[in-house]
């Protein structure tokens, strides 16, 4: 009887140990799977531009500084790119990073230039914004951190997003013939990562 009890005790212990092994191994596998897609290399990211407030003041007009460095908003229907139909690309007014293409610009009727996708998924960064008693997603230049505007999920297809951007934060560069929005020779000459200039349709 005692031997049977001991055997039963050992059997239960083995079962518990096996169950514990399974429990401990599962999170490891999940963590590994979760972390892999997150690993970004330095080469994937555009080089950052960091300047002091004083330096930005010298480079920008007071209105450009207020919008881009102090997260301001231009008055709707007053921006120069709101009713703007020319073909080309829109760069960051602070650092020249290519942010949006005229190919994704649409008339949202909101009074601000609106796009349904950024130029590339490396052009911009996003951050939670809880100011003015609203929950919004702020859009920033990935290179210099300039405040550009906000993104909403009521945009047209194929993405369904509406990137609502201040004209003041943008600088338009006109398309000069051909299908490429910017002459590649000119653009590449002063940039270290030409891949950044190629439209990236991963988001679509
Ligand atoms: Zn920038």
Q: Same domain for 65 and 142?
A: yes
> Which of 94, 95, 144, 164 is labelled catalytic?
164
Reported as a single tens digit per residue, the pLDDT across 94-105 is 999 999 999 999
164 is catalytic: yes
Q: Is residue 203 part of a domain?
A: no
**For residue 164, what pLDDT is reported?**
98
Q: Same domain for 87 and 66?
A: yes
pLDDT for residue 108 is more than 70: yes
Q: Name 153's Cβ contacts closer than 8 Å, sequence gap at least 6.
A: 160, 161, 162
- Kindly give the distance from the C-alpha atom of residue 142 to the centroid of ligand 1, in angstroms, as a whole number: 7
**For residue 183, what pLDDT is reported?**
42
Q: Name 72's Cβ contacts closer than 8 Å, sequence gap at least 6.
A: 66, 147, 166
Low-confidence winner among 7-11, 78-82, 145-149 (lowest mean pLDDT): 7-11
Reported as a single tens digit per residue, the pLDDT across 121-176 is 899 999 999 998 999 999 999 999 999 999 999 999 999 999 999 999 999 999 87
- Kindly give the distance from the C-alpha atom of residue 1 to the centroid of ligand 1, in angstroms, as a whole number: 80
Confidence of residue 8 (pLDDT cuts 50, 70, 90): low
**For residue 53, what pLDDT is reported?**
97
- Kindly give the distance from the C-alpha atom of residue 102 to the centroid of ligand 1, in angstroms, as a whole number: 18
Q: How many structural domains compose the chain? A: 2
Q: Same domain for 28 and 88?
A: no
**For residue 6, what pLDDT is reported?**
67
Q: Same domain for 101 and 30?
A: no
Dihedral (CA of 107, 108, 114, 120) sign: negative
For 16-45, what is the mean pLDDT?
Answer: 37
Reported as a single tens digit per residue, the pLDDT across 39-57 is 334 445 568 999 999 999 9
Q: Is residue 59 part of a domain?
A: yes
pLDDT for residue 92 is more than 80: yes
Dihedral (CA of 88, 93, 96, 101) sign: negative
Distance between CA atoms of 105 and 115, rounded to whole angstroms? 4
Q: Which residues pair with 89 in a beta bridge?
A: 101, 173
Determine the length of the chain: 204
**How distant is the alpha carbon of residue 48 from its chain centre?**
14
Reported as a single tens digit per residue, the pLDDT across 174-183 is 987 655 444 4
Mean pLDDT of the chain: 78
């Amino acid at each position: 009887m005692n031997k049977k009890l001991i055997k039963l005790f050992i059997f239960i212990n083995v079962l518990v140990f096996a169950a514990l092994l399974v429990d401990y191994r599962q999170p490891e596998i999940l963590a590994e799977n979760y972390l892999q897609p997150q690993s970004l290399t330095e080469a994937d990211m555009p080089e950052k531009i960091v300047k002091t407030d004083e330096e930005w003041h010298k480079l920008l007009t007071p209105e450009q500084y207020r919008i881009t460095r102090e997260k301001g908003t231009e008055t709707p229907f007053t921006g120069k790119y709101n009713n703007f139909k020319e073909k080309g690309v829109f760069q960051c007014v602070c650092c020249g990073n290519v942010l949006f293409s005229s190919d994704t610009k649409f008339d949202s009727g909101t009074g601000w230039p609106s796009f349904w996708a950024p130029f590339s998924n490396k052009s911009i960064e996003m951050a939670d914004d809880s100011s003015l008693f609203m929950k919004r997603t702020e859009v920033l230049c990935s290179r210099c951190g300039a405040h550009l505007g906000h993104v909403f999920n009521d945009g047209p297809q194929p993405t369904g997003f509406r990137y609502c951007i201040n004209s003041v934060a943008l600088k338009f560069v006109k398309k000069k013939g051909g299908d490429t929005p910017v002459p590649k020779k000119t653009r590449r000459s002063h940039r270290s990562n030409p891949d950044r200039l190629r439209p990236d349709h991963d988001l679509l």
